[in-house]
Amino acid sequence: MSDKKLILVVDDDIDFVESTKMMLEAHGFEVACAYDGAEGLKKAKQNKPDLLLLDVMMASDTEGFEVARQIPATPELKDVPVIMMTGIRREKNLNYGFEPDDSWLPVKEVLEKPVPPARLIAAVKSALTKN
């Protein structure tokens, strides 16, 4: 069994998932992928990742928010940290951001897409260390 940390990337943008997967693997992580919230939850339950990278807008504009709230409510996933990566502010022209919150947005961090690779790697390492 590998001692590499398993990161589950959940995003409906196939190119984004593939490029993120390659970058994470280049930094020594094992990566699993899912392309919508339902598949992400299913794979998370099956594989118990060390960290989840989660998009917001997938099948619906709020799917990632809903998934983020289900993670801590699922006994086998309650300790899995989540980093949300989203372009919703730009896409929907919102003039406000999103902050982690224990009940509404129970994630470690919210990163705005496009996320610079060094910033993403730093966030991943930080979330894994704090968990």
- Can you tell me the distance from the alpha carbon of 43 to that of 77, in angstroms, rounded to the nearest whole number? 11
Tell me: pLDDT of 124 over 60.
Answer: yes
Percent of the chain with pLDDT over 70: 86
Instruction: Give pLDDT tens digits for 73-84.
Output: 999 999 999 999
C-alpha separations of 107 from 14, 37, 94, 101, 124 in Å: 23, 15, 20, 7, 12
Residue 99 banded pLDDT, cuts 50, 70, 90: low
Residues 17-64 have pLDDT tens digits of 999 999 999 999 999 999 999 999 999 999 999 999 999 888 888 899
Contact 7, 108 (CB under 8 A): no
| pLDDT at residue number 130 | 79
Over range 104-110, report the average pLDDT.
84
The residue behind tokens 């989840």 is: 52
Q: What is the pLDDT of residues 1-11, one digit of tens each?
A: 468 999 999 99
C-alpha distances out from residue 77 to 3, 14, 15, 19, Å:
19, 24, 27, 26
Taking each continuous run of H as one helix and of E as one strand, the counts in the chain are: 5, 5
Residue with tokens 């730009």: 90
- Ordered structural domains, the chain, with CATH: 6-130 (3.40.50.2300)
